[in-house]
Amino acid sequence: MKTQRTRSSNRILNLLKTLNRGISAQEIYLELRQSSQSMGLATVYRALEALKLEGAIQARTLANGESLYSCVQEDKHHLTCLQCGVSIAIHQCPVHELETQLQKSHQFKIYYHTLEFFGLCDRCTEAQAVSDEINVDI
Ligand SMILES: [Zn+2]
Ligand SMILES: [Zn+2]
């Protein structure tokens, strides 16, 4: 079942391809407006939904509930700091093999998977250690 991709979907997909990072729907809306390919925010959401069902893009939800969209081709995961929000890309995937297996054993067409690690980055860990030391004296 191949559905015709709308022009807005194509524009968004092209934008995501040129960016090397996840981007929110709001940012997509602003980016397109800057490049004079303006479309309403509702259209952006509709196009993103269609692209997602097609398996062309994937959504990643941050700790603050915001969704970031990116092209699906890369199997990339992140370490996200709960304190400062920094996302560090990791270039390893322990479930890549599993995905292939599941696809076969369940006859399920897997578009993508998510795997996220949350905690504190080294800078925030250090800051926390310092403030713990201060708190001890109080
Ligand atoms: Zn941090
Ligand atoms: Zn992976």
DSSP letters for the chain: --PPPPHHHHHHHHHHHH-SS-B-HHHHHHHHHHTT----HHHHHHHHHHHHHHTSEEEEE-TTS-EEEEESS---EEEEETTT--EEEE---TTHHHHHHHHHHTT--------EEEE--HHHHHHHHHHHHHHHH-
May I ask the CATH class of domain 75-138?
Answer: alpha beta
Distance 10 CA to ligand 2 centre (A): 25
Render pLDDT for 23-35 as a digit per residue (tens, 0 to 9): 999 999 999 999 8
Instruction: Report which bound ligand comes closest to the CA of 79.
Output: 1
Per-residue pLDDT averaged across 59-83, rounded?
Answer: 86
Q: Where are the domains of the chain?
A: 1-73, 75-138
- Do the domains 1-73 and 75-138 sit in the same CATH topology, yes or no? no
Q: Work out the pLDDT band at 71, boundaries 50, 70, 90.
A: confident
Q: What is the architecture of the domain spanning 1-73?
A: Orthogonal Bundle (1.10)
Neighbours of ion ligand 2 (CB under 5 A): 75, 93
pTM score of the predicted model: 0.67
Residue 93 C-alpha to ligand 2 middle, in angstroms? 4
